Amino acid sequence: MSEHSELSEIRASVRALCEKFPGEYWRKLDRERGYPTEFVNALTEAGFLAALIPEEYGGSGLTMRAAITIMEEIHASGCNGAACHAQMYTMGTILRHGSDAQKKQYLPQIASGKLRLQAFGVTEPTSGTDTLNLRTTAKKEGNSTYTINGQKIWTSRAEHSDLMLLLARTTPKEQVQKRTDGLSVFLVDMRNAKGLTIKPIRTMMNHATTEVFFDDLKVPAENLIGEEGKGFRYILAGMNAERILIASECIGDAKWFIEKASAYAKGRVLFGRPIGQNQGVQFPIARAYMQMRAAELMVHEAARLYEAGEDCGEEANMAKQLAAEASWAAADMCVQTHGGFGFAEEYDIERKFRETRLYTVAPISTNLVLSYLSEHVLGLPRSY
């Protein structure tokens, strides 16, 4: 089968699955801040969340282009992949840096959905984007255990995950030669863990995010991923996949807003003609479409480079930023096109508007993308 028809087939099956989860389903969860368990189970059973796990570990062994097709289509169908996108990419750190034993132990169970690895503990309240200043510590006790103390914030899906990929400091900052050394990555088993407290944070959209407290939490030394002290690099390596996948969600959101706005502009008749006959209404829709298509090209370029094993830091960052801006512009346009009805819950627009707003802030905010491009691509002086 050609790649094109394979992707079209994936798109059609994701769309068919999403049709079972219409607006009412998401609206109810949004009101209750509930987790879309049935939706996540359906995606897991269909193998979509195991897209990037190689077949030898029980995954679907699909390409990054297939993975972005899945995430885009979920969002273009009006659903929300934020509830489970991390199950797709967090395992990449084990795949790339884990030992053979860790890969054999965890990846097949993550692929089948028996184990959920969709909590990613990096951000902390005091350090935020300044990751190298994080304060959570992992202290080695003897040869067999690390003791974790500290706090994470915005650890999404922690209540709906069995495992957490955690970044913690193993060597004090003053004692490392390179400023990027001294942080380590652990796979924390959160099931019945003593010394771990999870507190939900209610946010403007339904996101199942939390803060997590570690109070003498014991983690077996065998749960260290890769080499001690090299964790910051492992986390950075995983961020390209995260950015490309989230960018594809934004493209899906933008498509959803553009479709909704076009349909409404054709059907709403005022002053004796459809509002979409007025160029004042048409042009913002056309502009949002153009912005989305340009961002989509960058997402595809980033995915192509990623698949080819080439450095795609520049393109992954630009894809995430351009796509997040395109989805936010499309959201704003969609509300404007709908007038008052854009604010009514039953149209789903205000919900999607709130959901898509996140992506110019997380997983990395606009200024940090611009700063990456300024320094690493354009060679401008370091600002921090």
Ligand X SMILES: Cc1cc2nc3c(=O)[nH]c(=O)nc-3n(C[C@H](O)[C@H](O)[C@H](O)COP(=O)(O)OP(=O)(O)OC[C@H]3O[C@@H](n4cnc5c(N)ncnc54)[C@H](O)[C@@H]3O)c2cc1C
Residues that bind ligand X (CB under 6 A): 120-123, 128-129, 154-156, 203, 207, 209, 358, 361-365, 367-368, 371, 383-384
User: What is the nearest approach in angstroms of ligand X to the Cβ of residue 234?
Assistant: 14
User: What is the nearest approach in angstroms of ligand X to the Cβ of residue 114?
Assistant: 21
Choose between 219 and 261: whose C-beta lies nearer to ligand X. Answer: 219
User: What is the nearest approach in angstroms of ligand X to the Cβ of residue 316?
Assistant: 15
Which stretch of DSSP H or E encloses residue 287?
helix 279-307
Which stretch of DSSP H or E encloses residue 209?
strand 209-220
Choose between 285 and 318: whose C-beta lies nearer to ligand X. Answer: 318
Choose between 165 and 298: whose C-beta lies nearer to ligand X. Answer: 165
Choose between 204 and 297: whose C-beta lies nearer to ligand X. Answer: 204
Instruction: Let me know: does 28 contact 37? Beta carbons within 8 Å.
Output: no
Torsion of CA 169, 174, 177, 182, to 10 degrees: 0
User: What is the nearest approach in angstroms of ligand X to the Cβ of residue 205?
Assistant: 8
Token pair listed for 92: 């990449």
Question: Angle, nearest 10°, between helix axes 231-267 and 349-357?
Answer: 150
Distance of CA 129 to the CA centre of its chain: 16
Choose between 133 and 278: whose C-beta lies nearer to ligand X. Answer: 133
User: What is the nearest approach in angstroms of ligand X to the Cβ of residue 365?
Assistant: 3
Instruction: Let me know: does 309 contact 233? Beta carbons within 8 Å.
Output: no
User: What is the nearest approach in angstroms of ligand X to the Cβ of residue 368?
Assistant: 5
**What phi and psi values does residue 364 have, to the nearest 5 degrees?**
-150, 140
Contacts of 310 (CB under 8 A, 6+ apart): none
Instruction: Let me know: does 329 contact 288? Beta carbons within 8 Å.
Output: yes
Cis amide linkage into residue 363, ω under 30° from 0? yes
Nearest residue to 14 (alpha-carbon basis) of 87, 62, 65, 70:
70
Give the number of other Cβ atoms within 10 Å of residue 31's Cβ.
11
Choose between 190 and 288: whose C-beta lies nearer to ligand X. Answer: 190
Choose between 89 and 289: whose C-beta lies nearer to ligand X. Answer: 89
**What phi and psi values does residue 313 have, to the nearest 5 degrees?**
-55, -45
Hey, is 252 helix, strand or coil? helix
Torsion of CA 291, 73, 109, 238, to 10 degrees: -10
Closest residue to ligand X in the complex (CB): 128
212: left (phi over 0), alpha (psi -120 to 50) or beta: beta
DSSP per residue, 155-167: -TTGGG-SEEEEE
Choose between 209 and 321: whose C-beta lies nearer to ligand X. Answer: 209
User: What is the nearest approach in angstroms of ligand X to the Cβ of residue 145?
Assistant: 24
Hey, is 314 helix, strand or coil? helix
Choose between 271 and 384: whose C-beta lies nearer to ligand X. Answer: 384
User: What is the nearest approach in angstroms of ligand X to the Cβ of residue 124?
Assistant: 8
User: What is the nearest approach in angstroms of ligand X to the Cβ of residue 146?
Assistant: 19
Choose between 77 and 161: whose C-beta lies nearer to ligand X. Answer: 161
Beta bridge partners of 220: 145
User: What is the nearest approach in angstroms of ligand X to the Cβ of residue 118?
Assistant: 9
Instruction: Let me know: does 70 contact 48? Beta carbons within 8 Å.
Output: yes
